[in-house]
Structure 1
Amino acid sequence: MSWSTVLLLIQAGILISNHVGAVDVCNKLKVNNCQECIQSGPACAWCKKVNFTKAGEQDSARCDTIEVLVSRNCSNADIIHPRSRISKQKQIPLDDNTQLTPRDIYLQLRPGETQEFQVKFRRAEGYPVDLYYLMDLSYSMVDDLQNVKKLGSELIKALNSITKSARIGFGSFVDKTVLPFVSTHPENLKHPCPEKKENVVCHPPFSFKHILTLTPDGKRFEEEVGKQEISGNLDAPEGGLDAMMQVAVCGDKIGWRNVTRLLVYATDDGFHIAGDGKLAAILTPNDGKCHLEDNMYSESNQFDYPSVGQLAQKLSENNIQAVFAVTSKMVNTYTALKDLIPKSVVGVLSQDSNNVVQLITDAYQNLSSEVILNHGSTPEFLEILYDSFCADGKTVDQPEGRCNNVKIKEEISFNVKVKAVKCQPGQSFVIRPLGFTDSLTVSVSTICDCECNDSPQPGECSSNGRAVCGICSCNEGHVGKNCECRTGGKTSQELEQSCRKDNNSAVCSGLGDCICGQCYCHQNLEDPTKVVSGQYCECNNYQCELSGGKICGGEGFCKCSQCICNPGFEGTACQCRRSTRNCLNQRESLCSGRGKCNCNICECKSGYLLPFCELCPGCPSQCQRFSPCVECLIAQETGNSLNCSSSCIGVTPTRTVKIEEETFCREKDSNNCWMQYVIKEEDGVDMYSITYSEKIECPEAPNVNTIVGGTIAGVIAIGLLCLILWKIVVEVNDRKAYRRFEQETAKSKWNQVGNPLFQPSTTTVTNPLFQG
């Protein structure tokens, strides 16, 4: 092996070793040029060397792995094998104002090949914070509101202890002001609280109200919050997700800075989600846009509640971290919600919210110590994975980077892997640590074109064109692999088509070269006896069937891939001596006229059986087919002058007095009489002999008088029988009733004892004049 070949192999090995995630297979199907080659897979390379392909070889041979191309004497300088690369990146040193580097990076990706780059993060000390306090003002939070009115200064003080610059804002929510969420009775709209207390002022319900834009003034927070009063609604869940959505998307009105953004959500109850609006006939999905007018959510009763996924997306897009400050009974509910919203935390709020400052401070520390590197929605043609290098270990190939318990000024890193799955116009996406303001913009373009940088060579392309990536681009009027053909008004595709036997065959059957529209067949220099011929090189004398290990069994010769047998031999490989002895039936008919004899064995028509093609068990019965013929023959016997030739084609008839065969046909004629006949198939196609009996069996006509008289007599007899049975049943029942009457009469006795209710009369006479 020469030193130049060794050097080329070493250079090829270096290229392969630098290939990230390389595969050693090049799928080069339907490759016609360099562009299609490099889009076929990261292992594919293209050789632009002029005259690299042999005569008749397709240009797809230029596309293969580097090892194959080098083995075919394509120098490294002639191999086109573009690689994914970082074309540009903007690195910024990490300090108290910069927590993420780099800030901008430009990738050129070859489809199917992964490119990696490193992202570093260092948590800064005292990073500015904006905190928006969003409070539930339904009636159950009446005690909490009194404490929140006093915490402005304390909250600013606590935030300033952990950051250089802190601002706070305030907003409140209740629910949509429609049934069944809020009572719409005019009196209840004025005073929605369930019961009146002396010192409680109850304001009309509302969906979301922005009260205080973010400010560093804790006193002002207390003043504005001090003006707020409690409200009320009907059901337990509140319209908090409506309020969170407006806080997230109305950045200009809320006053968010490009710093750490905290949204504190304080409540003692659950929340309505997308779909609940149907209860109030609100069917339009939430549009995720800002609808604050005069600091009130104006479209609350027109749009449904947002979904959790929709809210999570908007919070992430606007870099807002949620702190759910809820009472102990709602911790499980909001813990489940936290799992669906990245960079959020749940804290237990005391019954009167007196621990809210400590809760917010702890939540900020927890959120700041968790670093989640995320790119949002991925462009469809990209695959993005992360390796995370944290203080407590390493994780690889995850959909996002994540490190927990990151300390202040602690530096961590992430390895980002980006792969393009197909060619696409340039796009960009943003990688950011959730909850932090720093971000990295990644611009991506795909490498789908070849940069061959060809320099013209004297005499290339027959001086009738120039080479582009090794393929000749011919001048007008010339075509061919080397522009050697004059077109005569035809394109190169038309000239090539004239070298194909049909649209599905290869050029010159793959056994020749198409030169200017004509096939020139390859000849075997090592074995001149092997000859390829034909207009399309479709014929040869060495690809015929073998018999006994010999072409055409040694009893013939091969011509255009078919055996031409010597006299006395036959078969596809001349393997049989020509004879018909085993194909003759008892009548000396060759295969019964229903087949052909090949290699002394019958090849029967479909359905007929060997050895002589006599029987056809699967063929349909002929009885019904020849029934008209037999009826016509029998009619002729009775003296009718009928012509039966049309219905008895191919039939030889024979009359008999009695059918003696065990198997015969029995069919009805047009007069419903039974005919008997035997069908036998003769040698040949559609040749039959029919033996029929001239006697037919016709059914006797029915005796109408007997049938009618019998029917009437039967009806009368059945009627008389039914009448007699009815009379017998009635007589039996009457006799039973009379005997029962006599028995009851005999048992009766007349009782002559006096009536116990009778009392005899008493007469009293008094003389009114008697003075006694």
Structure 2
Amino acid sequence: MDWFLFFILLQMGVKGRCQQEEVCLKSVVNSCGDCIRSGPYCVWCKQLNFTKPGEQEAVRCDTQAQLIGRGCKKEEIISPQNNLKIHKRESLSNSFNEQEPVQLSPQKISLRLRPGLPTTFSVSFKRVEGYPVDLYYLMDLSYSMKDDLENVKELGKDLFAALKKITKYAKIGFGAFVDKTVLPYTNTNKEKLLKPCDENYQQCQAAFGYRHVLSMTSTEEEFKSKVTEQFISGNLDSPEGSLDAMMQAALCGDKIGWRNSSTRLIVLTTDAGFHMAGDGKLAGILEPNDEHCHMENNLYTNSIEMDYPSVGQLAVQLEKSNIQPIFAVTTNVETVYTQLSQRIPKSAVGVLSSDSKNVVQLIESAYNRLSSKVTLTHDNLPDNVRVIYTPKCEHPGPTGESEGVCDNVQVGQEISFNVTVTAYSCMEDKSFTIRPQGIKDTLTVTISTNCECQCVDPGLNKHPHCNEKGNVSCGICSCSEGSIGQFCECSIGRRDERTLRASCQRQNGTECEGRGDCVCGRCECHTTEGGRSYYGDFCQCDDEHCEKFQNKLCGGNGNCKCGKCECFESHEGSACQCRVSEEGCRTPNNTVCYGRGTCKCNRCECKEGYQHPRCQTCLGCTDPCQTKLNCIECLGFDSGPFKKNCSAACSKSIYHVMVDQFTIQSKKCHQKDSGGCWITFNLDQLVGEDNYKAEIVKQRDCPAPPSVTAIIGGSIASVALIGILLLMLIKLLIYMKDLKELRKFENEQKKSKWAKADNPLFHSANTTVLNPTFTGE
């Protein structure tokens, strides 16, 4: 079942991909050639009367399926294809026999490509047995390496013996370096320049930058003799001028003695770091390295006049000269040279013992690692050309645009690479070189493009299809002098009718958008500032005004079509600024955006409501406990509004049975159903926009039925209570009214006034007698 599902998905994916690729996005379509240049799947119908009068010739340009669907016969369709021609293909050599061996095949091919349509060819490689080796031993002779030098003087026999295991055509050279003989790198005191070592160390040579000691030789005695003559020198600071020495060894090939057909190795031995571009300013040296050989009498003459080379400069020159460096360094600087090795193609790092006794084993091991790894790459790739390498071997590296890698390739083993080349613009005879890194063999690829149509047209100057005023070219009329129009139906000087001019206006706007001329109801577009033509039914399009990224149109990763970027397969985004990747959109359960959005530019674009970064939570979404209640009721208890069509209404959004899917989050719900019962259930939110798994508690909490006696008794009590309340209310109103009248009476009584009059018959006493015995009590 799993295999069947996989097969179905695979077929759907292939079908979808093909449908996506088979698209023709029309560009300039005034001719068959314009159509072919519009895209790899654009074809041209040359069938007469395929277009209607007044209809744009652009309808002749589309995919083959679309044109056939519109009635164009298959034999009337023009579709140029890719063409590959091999000009030189010598057989691969098995072993080296004093002749030029062949390790890469073919050696020369030419491609005639249709723009945008890829073509693939195979390149074979075989490691030749006994291939010559040139080893240049480049040694740091600063004072700290004095013990190492004594051991190197005795290494000649072992070095030659190790190389003889690889090939009988081995040669060894020798060179030495210290640093620039200026402050602050070297003590410029005259005595110290001549003898920069410790006073107790007598065998010390004068300070120098880089010295070539011995050109490539196959004689063991000569190597031992020259190395024995060398003595330690010295300088002030710890970093040395090793990049200076390597640059000159790469550039001065005739003095070093590099052979044309050989594996070239530079073995750099040191216990210190290195100076690089910019460090020369400390000594007032401002002239940048010019990447030329400056060797006289075996000495680097421009050491104090020219800055150190940059790592990038050195990497380029080593690659050009097919030199593979082996950094034999001590433990204290292993990290530094490991980082340097990462920036220099085809290089290796080994750790020296304190006295360099293990250098032979180190070189042998590094050589095996380098030679068993075959890296195919290219040089001088033309603009708008893309190359992809797919290795075909037992231990392949990843498929890549810059190189293809096969590891653990043994001597005599033949491997191959599929090389896919795509040209995205028209060009004539552009060349580039494919080669294995560190090896001389190359494949020269010459590219030209097929941007024109080869039509077999009738030789009639007055063809009936063109109203006998022109001939037919790829199905369209080429009018004679004095006639214009789709079928040469218009004469120059004739006043165009208003309807014809109206057909050149888009939405009653400017005629041909101001970018062309209306000729017989059809826009003939002008040329843009960039030398290309405007195009479209109303000249509304051009391919020069798309969004830019890093100051490049479509980021350099796509083509501009009518103001919009069409990205290559490897990139996406409005300006093709993003590599196609889903790494930033992957969730812990290995889905993309939890199924609630799409991954664009390695970032989730969530559907409405769902939140970044990976669309896990929803802001403003309705509580699923409420939205899923009816489905829970019908699935769990066979009741509710969805009872009659439960499976149809609920199967797409909720699972009642257990399913093996990743749970994003869980929620416990306690809701009242349509019958007033409380339902308890758990909802597990699954991957997808509206996707849940339910676990339902099979018991509902429903209320008890009502009591009739209680209802009747309650009703009577309620009526009596209401009557008492009404009587009390009436009594309260009467009391309030009486109280109001009393207050009114009291207020009026306070306001009354009584008259005070004296009795005219009353007279007060004339005499008053006091009782003398009265005490007042």
TM over 0.5: yes
Counterpart code for 1:276:
D
- The superposition leaves residues 104-143 of structure 1 with CA deviations (integer Å, 9 ceiling, x where unpaired) of 1211222222111111122221111111111111111112
Q: Which residue of 1 aligns with 2:455?
A: 452
Higher deviation after alignment, 99-108 or 476-485: 476-485
Quote the Cα distance in structure 2 between the aligned partners of 1:232 and 1:469. 79
- Counterparts in 2 of 1:170-249, with a 5 A limit? 170-197=174-201, 200-249=202-251
Structure 1 ranges of 4+ moved more than 4 A: 19-22, 492-508, 513-518
Q: Which residue of 2 aligns with 1:124?
A: 128
Displacement of 1:488 in angstroms is 3.7
* 2:467 counterpart (447, 462, 465): 462
Quote the Cα distance in structure 1 between the aligned partners of 2:126 and 2:379. 21
- Counterparts in 2 of 1:89-108, with a 5 A limit? 89-96=87-94, 97-108=101-112
- The superposition leaves residues 153-175 of structure 1 with CA deviations (integer Å, 9 ceiling, x where unpaired) of 43223212211311111111111
Quote the Cα distance in structure 1 between the aligned partners of 2:105 and 2:28. 43
- What secondary structure does 1:309 align onto? helix
Quote the Cα distance in structure 2 between the aligned partners of 1:114 and 1:22. 16
Q: 1:294–1:20: structure 2 CA closer, same or farther, 3 Å change rule?
A: farther
* 2:391 counterpart (388, 391, 394): 388
Quote the Cα distance in structure 1 between the aligned partners of 2:381 and 2:522. 51
Q: 1:489–1:167: structure 2 CA closer, same or farther, 3 Å change rule?
A: farther
- Whether 2:319 is the aligned partner of 1:285: answer no
Quote the Cα distance in structure 1 between the aligned partners of 2:443 and 2:320. 14
- Counterpart contact for 2:501–2:511, Cα < 8 Å: no
Displacement of 1:262 in angstroms is 0.7
Counterpart code for 1:66:
Q
Q: 1:44–1:145: structure 2 CA closer, same or farther, 3 Å change rule?
A: same
Displacement of 1:504 in angstroms is 4.4
- The superposition leaves residues 568-616 of structure 1 with CA deviations (integer Å, 9 ceiling, x where unpaired) of xxxxxxxxxxxxxxxxxxxxxxxxxxxxxxxxxxxxxxxxxxxxxxxxx
Quote the Cα distance in structure 2 between the aligned partners of 1:21 and 1:376. 35
Q: Which residue of 1 aligns with 2:46?
A: 48
Quote the Cα distance in structure 2 between the aligned partners of 1:507 and 1:138. 77
- What secondary structure does 2:191 align onto? helix
Q: Which residue of 1 aligns with 2:305?
A: 302
- Counterparts in 2 of 1:516-535, with a 5 A limit? none
Q: Which residue of 2 aligns with 1:37?
A: 35
% identity of equivalent residues: 51
Counterpart code for 1:396:
T
- Counterpart contact for 1:499–1:514, Cα < 8 Å: no
- The superposition leaves residues 69-91 of structure 1 with CA deviations (integer Å, 9 ceiling, x where unpaired) of 11222223322212233133533
Q: 1:46–1:212: structure 2 CA closer, same or farther, 3 Å change rule?
A: same
Aligned length: 496
- Counterpart contact for 1:286–1:306, Cα < 8 Å: yes
Quote the Cα distance in structure 1 between the aligned partners of 2:198 and 2:174. 25
Displacement of 1:377 in angstroms is 5.1
- Counterpart contact for 2:24–2:42, Cα < 8 Å: yes
Q: Which residue of 2 aligns with 1:480?
A: 485
Quote the Cα distance in structure 2 between the aligned partners of 1:430 and 1:349. 37
Quote the Cα distance in structure 2 between the aligned partners of 1:293 and 1:493. 84
- Counterpart contact for 2:503–2:521, Cα < 8 Å: no
- The superposition leaves residues 8-35 of structure 1 with CA deviations (integer Å, 9 ceiling, x where unpaired) of xxxxxxxx99x99981221114422222
Quote the Cα distance in structure 1 between the aligned partners of 2:267 and 2:484. 75
- What secondary structure does 2:21 align onto? coil
Displacement of 1:450 in angstroms is 2.2
- Counterpart contact for 1:21–1:113, Cα < 8 Å: no
Quote the Cα distance in structure 2 between the aligned partners of 1:493 and 1:432. 64
- Counterpart contact for 1:22–1:43, Cα < 8 Å: no
- Counterpart contact for 1:45–1:81, Cα < 8 Å: yes
Q: Which has the larger radius of gyration?
A: 1
Q: 1:192–1:24: structure 2 CA closer, same or farther, 3 Å change rule?
A: same
- Whether 2:365 is the aligned partner of 1:367: answer no
Higher deviation after alignment, 362-371 or 290-299: 290-299
- The superposition leaves residues 159-194 of structure 1 with CA deviations (integer Å, 9 ceiling, x where unpaired) of 122113111111111111111111112221111114
Counterpart code for 1:237:
P
Quote the Cα distance in structure 2 between the aligned partners of 1:65 and 1:94. 42
- The superposition leaves residues 617-651 of structure 1 with CA deviations (integer Å, 9 ceiling, x where unpaired) of xxxxxxxxxxxxxxxxxxxxxxxxxxxxxxxxxxx
Q: 1:459–1:403: structure 2 CA closer, same or farther, 3 Å change rule?
A: same
Q: Which runs of 5+ in 2 are unaligned?
A: 1-13, 95-100, 524-777
Displacement of 1:51 in angstroms is 3.0
Quote the Cα distance in structure 2 between the aligned partners of 1:272 and 1:378. 32
Q: 1:496–1:268: structure 2 CA closer, same or farther, 3 Å change rule?
A: farther
Counterpart code for 1:427:
K
- Whether 2:173 is the aligned partner of 1:165: answer no
Counterpart code for 2:473:
V
Scaled by the length of structure 1, the TM-score of the pair is 0.60
Q: 1:141–1:393: structure 2 CA closer, same or farther, 3 Å change rule?
A: closer
- Counterpart contact for 2:54–2:521, Cα < 8 Å: no
Scaled by the length of structure 2, the TM-score of the pair is 0.60
Q: 1:366–1:300: structure 2 CA closer, same or farther, 3 Å change rule?
A: same
- What secondary structure does 1:131 align onto? strand
Q: Which residue of 1 aligns with 2:156?
A: 152
Q: 1:241–1:498: structure 2 CA closer, same or farther, 3 Å change rule?
A: same
- What secondary structure does 1:313 align onto? helix
Q: Which residue of 2 aligns with 1:251?
A: 253
Calculate the aligned-residue CA RMSD, in Å: 3.1
Q: 1:21–1:122: structure 2 CA closer, same or farther, 3 Å change rule?
A: farther
- Counterparts in 2 of 1:670-685, with a 5 A limit? none
Displacement of 1:448 in angstroms is 2.1
- What secondary structure does 2:211 align onto? strand
- What secondary structure does 1:146 align onto? helix
Displacement of 1:63 in angstroms is 0.8
Q: 1:517–1:265: structure 2 CA closer, same or farther, 3 Å change rule?
A: closer
- Whether 2:408 is the aligned partner of 1:405: answer yes
- Counterpart contact for 2:502–2:521, Cα < 8 Å: no
- Counterpart contact for 1:22–1:113, Cα < 8 Å: no
